Structure 1
């Protein structure tokens, strides 16, 4: 059975949104779940709807498509990006953001078919990776290589993890450890456990969260059991965090 691809269309021109919506509607695996007419609205709609893919115009006032995509890459669930624009000059910037494709207006049906095939392939590879992640009952532990030995740490004994310069710092119940593994890679490995990203540089074990304290501009401070320091929760993550924590 073909997996449904949930799509958000972003363009400040209504005609362009309607044209792309019509063309995408010809493909049964595509489900259009929303639209946005600005970069700012695109970020908010992505937080609310969590689409698989964002078809994103680039030349928009205030926050353009490249800037919007960069903001979305800080979210807990990062969508795939397809830039759909009249300007070829931004292609290099688009692929630095790891866009799946770059469509030029006016859209061609054959090019759009190729884009959808590419999206299906990327999503299929992502699903296979998720299936290979260990289950919560797995005996696998996090290996931390030191100068004299390899320490195996039970993920349930980790309070939080953060990135600082070239190192990833793992704060455990007993002590702290340093790793060179990127935070994004650790997040994928720890997906079966109770970890949640609260900031672009922080992962926390939800089992040890004790309090959330309102701060300013929609952000919060978070307290961890047994620790004196507080951690900052970015406003982009607070809704998802509360939905995970609260009954």
Structure 2
């Protein structure tokens, strides 16, 4: 991972929302919140001088709202990435019209924010140097009553959260662990796993086809697996970007 930190600016007319998001982002050493703004007008001026890499932008603001602010930011010489913040979960379609990296729904969810940060890291701070074709030797350790089982990440089809446990579905076996899905996602970050739903993480190497379902959502078919997985409409665009040439 690159040692360069991602410069972020938080724009929201409510101080509580700014403080909450700043606190959550402080848990990520890769993110450096360089400034805040309480209006769209102030944000444009500050971005002009400070050139942040990403702007976490509230949608519902007086005078210059989030949409209008994003449009103004697109005119700058150094155009920052945009992550919208909104209290309305059905805002995704409009957000992507502005090529937003993501949108966060208030009140902020830590798991959703983690997914957003991972997308930002992929876009802004890719690994330095030539990409190695060799995978790490490390295996995923699963603790069971019989001892510790070591699994090759390449043998895992997908993982999903089922109430208080996480189930790991492999080519030949299925495992059950108490480890949260987001923790396993972090441990598997060097492999081809991708979030398709807040409760599902899939190995892209086994993706066979995307099947349209309804309301912008899709079903995902995996090689060697009969059960189809649901792809949340919030993840469809990012998934296709990841998969397609």
Root mean square deviation, CA, Å: 3.8
Alpha-carbon distance in 1 for matches of 2:223, 2:241: 20
Partner of 2:11: 9
TM-score (normalised: structure 1): 0.61
TM-score (normalised: structure 2): 0.61
Change (3 A) 1:48 1:17: same
The 3-state SS of whatever aligns with 2:216 is: coil
1:244 aligns with one of 238, 242, 245: 242
CA contact (8 A) 1:3 1:29 kept: no
Alpha-carbon distance in 1 for matches of 2:57, 2:11: 5
CA contact (8 A) 1:9 1:21 kept: no
Shift of 1:3: 4.0
Structure ID, larger Rg: 1
Shift of 1:211: 1.1
CA contact (8 A) 2:160 2:181 kept: yes
Partner of 1:30: 52
Alpha-carbon distance in 2 for matches of 1:188, 1:154: 16
1:77 matches 2:99: no
Equivalent residues in 2 for 1:39-118, closer than 5 Å: 39=86, 40=88, 45=95, 48-50=99-101, 66-67=106-107, 69-70=108-109, 74=112, 77-79=115-117
Structure 1: which 4+ aligned runs deviate by more than 6 Å? none
The number of residues matched between the two structures is 182
Partner of 1:229: 227
Alpha-carbon distance in 1 for matches of 2:159, 2:211: 20
| Further displaced range: 194-203 or 36-45 | 36-45
Alpha-carbon distance in 1 for matches of 2:143, 2:41: 54
Shift of 1:148: 1.4
Instruction: In structure 1, list runs of 5 or more residues that go unmatched.
Output: 57-64, 81-122
The 3-state SS of whatever aligns with 1:150 is: strand
1:43-76: per-residue Cα shift (whole Å, max 9, x none)?
Answer: 554893337xx9x9xxxxxxxx734x34x95377
Alpha-carbon distance in 2 for matches of 1:153, 1:246: 28
1:184 matches 2:182: yes
The 3-state SS of whatever aligns with 1:236 is: helix
Alpha-carbon distance in 2 for matches of 1:168, 1:224: 19
